[in-house]
C-alpha cells in the first residue's frame, strides 16, 4: 500500500536568482549546457536511480524532460511482471492518491456537498451514535482529517503486508469507517501530524455521502474529464469502494496535468481559495517540511508523495512541475525520486566542455 513520506524528501528548489545566466560573459570560451536528459543518462548509468519508471518535467510551459524506463511493477500487491513503460502506461500513484482526494474535497465544498473544515465529523456519520458519547471523539473536525492531526492510535510504520499496519487492518475490517473512528485518541487532536490513511478514507466518504456518487465517478466528472484525463483506474477494497488512501492509477503525463492545474491556481476547476488553504503549512512535520490539506509543503515547493517513489513536485517560483513514477515499493530507503529531482532537474545547468 502506501508509506509515510520517506526521510529523503525533495530538497528545497533553487531560487530564481540561482539559475544560470542566459549566456556566459563575452570573455568566457563557448560552453555547452548539459540538458536534463544528459544528466539523467549519467545518473542512470551510475545506477543512482534504480527502479525509475517514468519522469516528465515541464518548466514555463515547455517539456524539459520526458523519460520512460522498464522494470518490475505492481498494482498494489498484485505483481504485473516486467513492464516496458510508455507515455500511455498506467502506474500506481499510491499515496499521491490522498492529494487528489484533497482536491476533490475542495471541489465538493465549492458545490456545497461537504462540510466546512471547522465542522465536526461525527454528525456526518450518524450510523455510529455510540462513538459520539466520547467528548474528545465528538470534537474531531474535518480539518483534523484534512491535516492528519486526528490524534488516533494509528500506525503505518510496519509493512503493508501485515495486519498490524493500521491501513491494512482498516481494509480488513467489516466497516472501515467505524474502524477509523473508534480508534483510541492518544494525542490532542489538531496538534501533532501523524500519518493516517484513515483520514483520507473519511474525507472520501464525506464526498460520497454529500454528492451521492462513488468517489471515482465524482473524480471523473469533476476533475479527470475536464483535464482530458481519459485513461485511469481506481482500485477498490473488498467493499467495492475506491481506496482513497492509495488506489489511483494514472500515467505520468496525467499526473503532471494535475500538477499544472495546481500551479495554475486551480483554473476554473478547483477554487483558488481552497488551494490557498490546502497548500498552507498547517502542521509541522520536520524542519522546513509541513502538511496542508492532504498536500506536503516545503519552503518553496508543494508536493504529493507515494510509496515506491511516486512524486508530484510543484515549484511555483521556478514555474516547474515534475511527475515521477518508480518501483521502489516497500523498502526502507526510496531515493530514486529525490535523486532525479536533486541531481537531474533542480541543479543549476552546469556547462561542460
CB-CB contact of 14 with 348 (8 Å) = yes
Determine the straight-line distance between the first and last CA of the chain, rounded to whole angstroms.
46
Contact of 91 with 310, CB cutoff 8 Å: yes
User: What is the per-residue pLDDT across 311-334, written as a single tens digit (0 to 9) for each?
Assistant: 999 999 999 999 999 999 999 899
Residues 161-200 pLDDT 10s: 888 999 999 999 999 999 999 999 999 999 999 999 999 9
The confidence score (pLDDT) of residue 31 equals 62
- HEC readout, 249-284: EECHHHHHHHHHHHHCCCCCCCCHHHHHHHCCCCEE
What are the start-end ranges of the H helices in the chain? 36-45, 96-110, 135-138, 142-146, 166-172, 176-181, 197-211, 215-219, 225-227, 252-263, 272-278, 336-339
Question: Which DSSP category does 236 fall into?
Answer: B
- For the stretch 118-171, pLDDT in tens is 999 999 999 999 999 999 999 999 999 999 999 999 999 988 888 899 999 999
Residues 6+ apart with CB under 8 A from 123: none
Contact 114, 105 (CB under 8 A): yes
Beta strands of the chain (E only): which ranges?
32-33, 52-59, 62-68, 70-75, 78-84, 91-92, 233-234, 248-250, 283-286, 289-291, 296-297, 302-306, 310-315, 320-326, 351-352
Name all domains of the chain by residue range, CATH numbers in brackets: 22-94+231-240+250-352 (3.40.710.10), 99-207 (1.20.58.710)
Contact between residue 130 and residue 170 where contact means Cβ atoms under 8 Å apart? no
Q: Please give the Cα distance from 165 to 185 (Å, whole number).
A: 17
Amino acid at each position: 500500500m502506501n508509506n509515510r513520506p520517506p526521510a529523503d524528501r525533495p530538497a528545497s528548489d533553487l531560487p530564481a536568482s540561482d539559475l544560470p545566466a542566459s549566456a556566459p560573459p563575452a570573455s568566457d570560451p563557448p560552453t555547452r549546457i548539459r540538458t536534463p536528459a544528459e544528466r539523467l543518462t549519467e545518473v542512470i548509468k551510475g545506477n543512482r536511480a534504480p527502479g525509475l519508471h517514468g519522469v516528465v518535467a515541464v518548466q514555463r510551459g515547455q517539456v524539459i524532460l520526458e523519460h520512460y524506463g522498464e522494470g518490475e511493477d505492481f498494482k498494489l500487491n498484485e505483481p504485473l511482471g516486467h513492464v516496458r513503460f510508455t507515455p500511455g502506461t498506467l502506474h500506481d500513484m499510491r499515496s499521491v492518491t490522498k492529494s487528489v482526494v484533497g482536491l476533490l474535497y475542495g471541489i465538493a465544498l465549492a458545490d456545497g456537498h461537504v462540510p466546512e473544515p471547522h465542522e465536526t465529523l461525527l454528525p456526518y456519520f450518524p450510523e455510529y451514535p455510540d462513538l459520539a458519547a466520547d467528548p474528545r471523539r465528538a470534537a474531531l473536525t474535518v480539518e483534523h482529517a484534512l491535516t492528519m492531526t486526528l490524534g488516533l492510535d494509528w500506525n503505518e510504520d510496519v509493512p503493508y503486508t501485515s495486519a498490524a499496519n493500521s491501513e491494512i487492518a482498516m481494509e480488513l475490517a467489516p466497516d472501515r469507517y467505524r474502524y477509523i473512528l473508534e480508534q483510541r485518541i492518544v494525542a490532542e487532536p489538531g496538534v501533532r501530524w501523524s500519518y493516517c490513511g484513515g483520514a483520507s478514507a473519511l474525507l472520501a466518504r464525506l464526498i460520497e455521502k454529500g454528492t451521492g456518487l462513488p468517489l471515482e465517478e465524482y473524480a471523473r466528472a469533476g476533475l479527470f474529464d475536464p483535464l482530458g484525463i481519459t485513461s485511469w483506474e481506481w482500485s477498490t477494497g473488498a467493499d467495492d469502494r475506491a481506496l482513497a488512501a492509495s488506489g489511483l492509477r494514472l500515467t505520468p503525463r496525467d499526473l503532471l496535468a494535475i500538477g499544472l492545474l495546481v500551479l495554475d491556481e486551480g483554473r476554473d476547476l478547483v477554487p483558488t481559495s481552497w488551494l490557498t488553504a490546502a497548500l498552507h503549512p498547517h502542521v509541522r512535520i520536520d524542519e522546513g517540511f509541513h502538511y496542508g490539506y492532504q498536500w506536503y509543503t516545503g519552503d518553496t515547493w508543494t508536493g504529493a508523495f507515494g510509496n515506491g517513489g511516486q512524486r508530484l513536485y510543484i515549484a511555483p517560483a521556478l514555474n516547474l512541475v515534475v511527475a515521477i513514477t518508480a518501483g521502489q515499493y516497500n523498502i526502507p530507503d526510496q531515493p530514486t525520486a529525490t535523486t532525479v529531482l536533486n541531481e537531474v532537474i533542480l541543479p543549476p545547468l552546469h556547462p561542460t566542455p
